[in-house]
Amino acid sequence: MTTHFFGDTAVLLGRSGRHITRSLDTVITVSIMPIALMLLFVYVFGGAIDAGSDHYVNYLLPGILLITIAMGISYTAFRLFTDMRSGIFARFQSMPIARSSVLWAHVLTSVVSNLISLVIVVLVALLMGFRSGAGVLAWLAVAGILVLFTLALTWIAVIAGLSAKTVDGASAFSYPIVFLPFVSSAFVPTDTMPGPVRAFAENQPVTSIVNTIRDLFAQRPVSGDVWIGLAWCAGILIVACALAMVTYHRKIA
């Protein structure tokens, strides 16, 4: 049964992957806005922001990476919505395949496409002066955190894609998620914020994830934020995955 699931997921992943390669503009589009924000904040606002770093792009990049993921998952919701409306899911159900493999193929496609977008953003950041002395293990840790964050948000996108009534509705769910990094430590230290805003910023998942990635890039000892960030990601992933499966089975019943 397990082999059946993995085999079906691999086949469907190939199908979704071909859709990505045939429309690379989606990957580029996901990268453009985070890069534009990075250019804006570094070269326009950076001189007026005291983030305690010699190079503001070093401080900024972790938050930009999370924004890239938040923007990228909207395409997962769009692709799922399109598949639901086209009737392809109904055709899959008539075949002897593992039901959950259909969703997992979309989720893994999201991880791959988002990783490509993240690499593009990091390359641009390097051109803008981003530097890190982090070793291989630190970079792998950053990649692991970003993949876990992508998985958690992608399952939220799955719920949106399955539940939406229109194409716009399938993608609109990502707007609040994209906004979260702006009310966190991604752009400025939280101690510069007014009391209520600071309280929210310090107790939402983006801040702990951003702080952890920033420490890894700067070769600083990782604080307790890493466990808070991982707990947020794992909790969202488990709950969203369960809700997505319930929604999916209700849709195909």
Question: What pLDDT shows up at residue 85?
Answer: 74
Name which of 96-100, 141-145, 233-237, 241-245 the model is least confident about: 96-100
Give the pLDDT confidence of 2-26 residue by residue, as tens digits.
455 666 666 666 666 666 666 666 6
Q: Is 221 exposed, middle or buried (0-12, 13-18, 19+ CB in 10 A)?
A: exposed
Beta strands in the chain, from DSSP E residues, in sequence order: none
Tell me the C-alpha distance between 1 and 8, whole Å.
11
Q: Are 182 and 160 in contact (CB under 8 A)?
A: no
- What value does the mean pLDDT take over residues 224-239? 93
For residue 101, how many other CB atoms are within 10 A of its CB?
20
How far is C-alpha 176 from the geometric centre of its chain's CA atoms?
A: 13
Per the model's pLDDT, the better-predicted residue between 101 and 54 turns out to be: 101
Question: What pLDDT shows up at residue 1?
Answer: 45
How far is C-alpha 56 from the geometric centre of its chain's CA atoms?
A: 22
- Percentage of the chain beyond pLDDT 90 is 39
pLDDT at 220 over 80: yes
- What value does the mean pLDDT take over residues 122-150? 93
Q: Which residues of 125-146 are buried (b: 16+ CB within 10 A; e: fewer)?
A: beebebebebeeebeebbeebb
DSSP assignments along 89-131, one per residue: HHHHHTSSS-HHHHHHHHHHHHHHHHHHHHHHHHHHHHHTT--
Averaged pLDDT score across all residues of the chain? 83
User: Where is mean pLDDT largest: 3-17, 52-66, 90-104, 231-245?
Assistant: 231-245
Distances 238 to 155, 229, 232 between C-alpha atoms, Å: 9, 14, 10
Handedness of CA 45, 47, 51, 54 (dihedral sign): positive
Q: pTM for the full model?
A: 0.88
Question: What pLDDT shows up at residue 223?
Answer: 84
Q: Domain extents for the chain? A: 2-252
Give the pLDDT confidence of 69-119 residue by residue, as tens digits.
998 888 888 888 887 776 666 666 656 566 667 788 888 888 888 898 999
For residue 174, how many other CB atoms are within 10 A of its CB?
23
Q: Is 33 exposed, middle or buried (0-12, 13-18, 19+ CB in 10 A)?
A: middle
